[in-house]
Amino acid sequence: MLAALWVTCKLALISSILLLLLCTPLAWWVAQGKSRHLRTLTEAAVALPLILPPTVLGFYLLILFSPSGLIGQFTETGLAFTFTGLVIGSVLYSLPFVVQPLSASFAQIDPRLLQLGRSQGLGKRQLLQRLVLPVSGHAFVTAAVLGFAHTLGEFGVVLMIGGNIPGETQVLSILLFDEVETLNFEAAHTIAASLLGASFLLLVLLYGWQRHRRGRYVAA
């Protein structure tokens, strides 16, 4: 179980960091981009994992990551059943949980504030550091927690593209399935309770922090 716990935590942490790096510019374009039709298509594509069966996404990624696939052919053995493939799949599957909080916050930024910053000679990086981050810092926290928590419980995608390799791609959700299959319910209860408790605690901390932040904002 410790090996699966390590793989799960490592996957969630790496995926969360990559999601924040990749989703910040994507969320900004969704919120502030000029092409309305293209933004609509992008929003739909980003939200697709919310309703798409995880095994469908995992199946197509498995084809892409295979040694003869569009992506896997550029590696010696492909990316299927590797930790790298697992990370890519997790990032794609958790996109909406990070993009949506960020884009919702970015959309509320007053365009006049950005225009004022540009008129004072601020570049894109300076606008991000001095205007966007202070206003949307809470959205980054929310996005990071949701992305991390969602990755903890992934099953269908990671099983399809990662398989079940102990110490390499076997995460807690897959180990739980294995224990149930072998009727080892005592171990299954331990794993399930751990995942339930960790997910619930993350959400309690997130919503408690949000409530405390709103209370301070109203008081101010």
For residue 103, give the nearest of 26, 34, 38 by alpha carbon: 26
Statement: residue 197 has pLDDT above 60: yes
The domain tally of the chain equals 1
Q: Note the pLDDT of residue 61.
A: 92
Q: Note the pLDDT of residue 220.
A: 52
Q: Note the pLDDT of residue 210.
A: 82
Mean pLDDT of 189-193: 94
Q: Note the pLDDT of residue 103.
A: 92
Q: What is the phi/psi pair of residue 52, to 5°?
A: -80, 135
Statement: residue 217 has pLDDT above 70: no
Q: Note the pLDDT of residue 218.
A: 54
Q: Note the pLDDT of residue 181.
A: 92
CB atoms within 10 A of CB 152: 19
Using one digit for the tens of pLDDT, what is the confidence trace for 70-116? 888 888 888 889 999 999 999 999 999 999 999 999 888 877 777 87
Using a 10 angstrom Cβ sphere, with 0-12 exposed, 13-18 middle and 19 or more buried, the burial of residue 46 is buried
Q: How far is CA 207 from CA 5, 7, 57, 142, 203, in A?
A: 25, 27, 30, 9, 6
Mean pLDDT of 53-59: 91
Mean pLDDT of 42-49: 91
Distance, in Å, from the CA atom of 26 to the CA atom of 42, rounded to the nearest integer, reads: 9
- Give the distance from CA 118 to its chain's centroid: 31
Statement: residue 153 has pLDDT above 90: no
Confidence tier at 118 by pLDDT (50, 70, 90): confident
Q: Note the pLDDT of residue 33.
A: 77
Mean pLDDT of 128-147: 86
Mean pLDDT of 184-212: 91
Range of the domain at 141: 2-219
CATH value at residue 177: 1.10.3720.10
On average, the pLDDT of the chain sits at 88
